[in-house]
Amino acid sequence: MKYLGHRILQSFFLLVGVSLLSFVFVELSPGNFFDDMRLNPRISSETVSRLRVQYGMDQPLPVRYARWLGSVAKGEFGFSFAYNAPVASLLWPRALNTLLLTGSATLAAWMIALPLGILSAGRRRGLIDHATLLLTSVVLAIPDLLMALGLLWFAVRTKLLPAGGMMSPGSENLGAWEQTESTAIHMIGPVLVLVLASLPTLMRHTRAAMIEALDSPFARAARAHGISPRRILLRHALPVALNPLISLFGLSLGSLLSASLLTEVVLSWPGLGPLLVEAILGRDIYVVIGAVVFASAFLVCGILLGDVLLFAADPRIRTERLA
């Protein structure tokens, strides 16, 4: 519990630092939401000035940051200029959609990467190993944006996959099962892009960890005692190789989250990505800051989950902490 509390405290201060840096960068960026309003001849300068005062934009940065922290404590995360609503009400539905996409892609990528990596390490320098290395090298060389655009082109030309969105038009009037089915079909494209984007890295890390475990002295001793290669691979080498893979699991959530923001924009998935782009273009600063903090929170939670799993799986770490 002490280790977990220490890591949670570190994560909290990290998120505070991210929010503070976000405020500073937004302050240093040129222009704001009200500059575009000044260009509108139908809106007087007095009206713009009153709006600036109403939203606290006339206050210095420390005062605005303190007021924003107060709104975070209330669960609002500031106020959106464009939507005239608390930022949290805009972010939570989008964040859940992003989590659904990222979580499904993470599960699918690891379910493919682990068996492929283990099989490749067990048949090192064999046909399967060479084939998987060649295939992952080709996929790794393709940018995420190009894969998303290629899948969008494929969906538009063949009509085999939905070209965007989360549900088909009119699905909101159907039952729960039909809505779930429509969402699952629309998830195929974005999840496929995210899986292809992360699979080569995960598979290669799994292969490298398994090879290192198979080349260790205990594995050579097990082979000398006549233990079967399959038993050595699954019962002895795999538990040892899990440590770096558990740490990689937390980081893979963060990398998939970054890729998902781009994929959401290209494939029109209603997650944090399109909302963040819209807020940046419209200079809706509190939506931008809230989206950045939410994305950072997902990354921090992923790393924290990896640390907790590593603490539970490796007795050496528990012994170190107790000492």
Amino acid 112: pLDDT? 92
Note the residue count of the chain.
323
Amino acid 320: pLDDT? 57
Q: How far apart are CA 259 and CA 265, in angstroms?
A: 10
pTM of the model: 0.84
Of 155, 186, 151, give the one whose Cα is nearest residue 168. 186
Amino acid 321: pLDDT? 53
- The reply to whether 51 and 141 lie within a common domain is no
Q: Which two tokens stand for residue 143?
A: 């940018």
Amino acid 168: pLDDT? 75
Residue 79: helix, strand or coil by DSSP? strand
- The reply to whether 208 and 292 lie within a common domain is yes
Q: 170-178 long-range CB contacts below 8 Å, 24 or more apart?
A: none
Amino acid 316: pLDDT? 67
- Of the candidates 38, 58, 87, which is a domain's last residue? 87
Amino acid 127: pLDDT? 85
- The reply to whether 28 and 146 lie within a common domain is no
Amino acid 1: pLDDT? 61
Domain coverage including residue 111 = 95-322
Of 254, 275, 262, 248, give the one whose Cα is nearest residue 144. 262
- Of the candidates 87, 105, 129, which is a domain's last residue? 87
Amino acid 317: pLDDT? 66
Amino acid 128: pLDDT? 82
- The reply to whether 101 and 10 lie within a common domain is no
Amino acid 111: pLDDT? 92
- The reply to whether 303 and 154 lie within a common domain is yes
* CATH number of the domain enclosing 198: 1.10.3720.10
C-alpha distances (whole Å) from 143 to each of 149, 256, 266, 268 are 10, 14, 13, 18
- The reply to whether 122 and 171 lie within a common domain is yes
Q: Which two tokens stand for residue 286?
A: 């509190």
Beta strands in 157-220 (DSSP E): none
Q: How far apart are CA 132 and CA 152, in angstroms?
A: 26
- The reply to whether 186 and 214 lie within a common domain is yes
Q: How far apart are CA 56 and CA 48, in angstroms?
A: 12
Q: How many domains does the chain have?
A: 2
Amino acid 319: pLDDT? 66
Q: What is the C-alpha end-to-end distance of the chain, expressed in Å?
A: 15
- The reply to whether 178 and 283 lie within a common domain is yes
Which amino acid is present at 131?
Answer: A
- The reply to whether 67 and 171 lie within a common domain is no
- The reply to whether 80 and 119 lie within a common domain is no
Q: How far apart are CA 100 and CA 166, in angstroms?
A: 11
- The reply to whether 69 and 149 lie within a common domain is no
Q: Position of tokens 């929010």? A: 19
C-alpha distances (whole Å) from 114 to each of 61, 214, 280 are 48, 16, 38
Q: How far apart are CA 202 and CA 31, in angstroms?
A: 41
Q: How far apart are CA 269 and CA 155, in angstroms?
A: 14
Beta-carbon-side half-sphere exposure of residue 209 (alpha carbons within 13 Å) = 25
- Of the candidates 36, 62, 87, which is a domain's last residue? 87
C-alpha distances (whole Å) from 83 to each of 47, 76, 206 are 18, 13, 45
Q: Report residues of the chain scoring pLDDT below 50.
A: none
- The reply to whether 264 and 131 lie within a common domain is yes
Amino acid 108: pLDDT? 92
